[in-house]
Amino acid sequence: MHEQLREFNIDGFQDNLVSWFTLHQRSLPWRESKDAYRVWVSEIMLQQTRVDTVIPYYQAFMREFPTLEELAYAEEDRILKAWEGLGYYSRVRNLQTAARQVVEEYAGQVPSSLAEISKLKGVGPYTAGAILSIAYGKPEPAVDGNVMRVLSRVLMIDADIAKVSTRKLFEAILYDLVSKKDPSAFNQGLMELGALICTPTSPGCLLCPVREYCQANQAGIQESLPVKSKKKKAKAKQMAAVIIRNQAGEVLIEKRPDKGLLARMWQFPNIETTKIETQPKELKEALAEDNVPVNIGEKVQQVEHVFSHLIWSISVYEANTVGNTNFNREGRWVKVSELEQYPFPVSHQKIIEEIKRRQV
């Protein structure tokens, strides 16, 4: 028994939590079935993403890719388009890689052992535990941000939840604490409690089904837990992007590199700059290098876009081709009406909106 659970009423805590979850759980689309593929997709989508944001994406995704096999062999632009606007796009590329793994190595059956499921691309400690407990009823810990907040308070633990070592501490505790009778309801109950009652600010302790077991509540310090170190703030990047039209009135788009930020999403040609004044000249030179001779026109838009670790400040210019072009990257000339077929990051969707505004 883990030392943090000495004198802790494990059975009472489990019973209250599972009963509360059974009675008060929200009706969510991924709770309609225990199918491992459906549970898996939902868990990947929910990583660092709110339930309300995920719901419409999940429903559309399951209509588009109803089975593991259909996802495994879909075109990459289709899966990125289905993820467009959700962020952390490597999630869906890893999900497809893993779906192929399951089809080819496990005959299409999502593995049910911790060792095997953990080998799947994009399936880390949390997701492995979530799928194993929810889809297969296995008593594995599933430690997400909700669970760390709830347990920090219940067991009055002040370790920094930003650290990996703290997540491991909670996993070790949960091996003893998780219900062996209903691991699915227990794990989902912990997360549901964190989402509905044991919230980051002003938790609803008066409504909490496990208040009698909560050491932080008894000490009156629930609002000061969990402890989490601050992350440093985002860095600003100045960019210049360009809407280039050819003589057919088409615009030039390109695919981003295979790795890194927004990998393999589409975008308008752009460069990083240091000075506003020289942006038109720098754009013209960069495009000439890529065999797209242009005349740069007016600046038509300023896009500010905030990521978690950086801020893009994009000046957007218009341009027209001069003579023949032979773009030496992965690019495409497309009609404005065709832009919506390609997956763009939100920052460049803002540019598309501006193009459409200026057309009407």
Q: Which amino acids are annotated catalytic?
A: 43
Q: Draw the binding track, 234-273, toward DNA (x: CB under 7 A; -: no contact).
A: --------------------------xxxx----------
> Out of 200, 221, 338, 341, which residue is the one contacting DNA (CB under 7 A)?
200
Q: Draw the binding track, 70-109, toward DNA (x: CB under 7 A; -: no contact).
A: ---------------xxxxxx---x---------------
For position 144 contacting DNA by CB under 7 A, the verdict is yes
For position 47 contacting DNA by CB under 7 A, the verdict is yes
DSSP state of 7: T
Which residue, 191 or 319, has its beta carbon nearer to DNA? 191
- Residue with structure tokens 């992350």? 231
**304-321: string of b/e by CB count within 10 Å (b at 16+)?**
ebebeeeebbbbbbbbeb
Sign of CA dihedral 25, 68, 263, 131: positive
For position 48 contacting DNA by CB under 7 A, the verdict is yes
For position 231 contacting DNA by CB under 7 A, the verdict is yes
> Out of 2, 237, 255, 305, which residue is the one contacting DNA (CB under 7 A)?
305
For position 52 contacting DNA by CB under 7 A, the verdict is yes
Residue 189 in contact with residue 13, Cβ under 8 Å?
no
3-state secondary structure of 93: helix
Which residue, 55 or 246, has its beta carbon nearer to DNA? 55
> Out of 16, 96, 146, 315, which residue is the one contacting DNA (CB under 7 A)?
146
CA distance 291 to 313: 26
Residue 39 in contact with residue 205, Cβ under 8 Å?
no
Phi, psi values for residue 299, rounded to 5°: -75, 130
Q: Among the candidate windows 57-65, 103-111, 145-153, 269-277, which touches DNA by CB under 7 A?
A: 145-153
Q: Which residues pair with 315 in a beta bridge?
A: 240, 302
Q: Which helix (H) or strand (E) holds 305?
A: strand 294-306
Residue 241 in contact with residue 270, Cβ under 8 Å?
yes
For position 194 contacting DNA by CB under 7 A, the verdict is yes
Which residue, 63 or 231, has its beta carbon nearer to DNA? 231
Q: Nearest distance from residue 352's CB to DNA, in Å?
A: 13
Q: Nearest distance from residue 262's CB to DNA, in Å?
A: 4
CA distance 36 to 142: 16
DSSP state of 342: S
For position 347 contacting DNA by CB under 7 A, the verdict is yes
Q: Nearest distance from residue 179's CB to DNA, in Å?
A: 16
DSSP state of 160: B
Q: Residue 170 has which token pair?
A: 């909670």
Q: Nearest distance from residue 198's CB to DNA, in Å?
A: 9
Could you give the dihedral angle defined by the CA atoms of residues 343, 346, 351 and 355, in that order, rounded to the nearest 10 degrees?
Answer: 60
- Residue with structure tokens 């026109």? 297
The residues binding DNA (CB under 7 A) are 28, 30-31, 42-43, 46-53, 85-90, 94, 121-128, 130, 144-146, 149, 163-165, 188, 191-192, 194-195, 200-201, 228, 230-233, 260-263, 305-309, 345-347
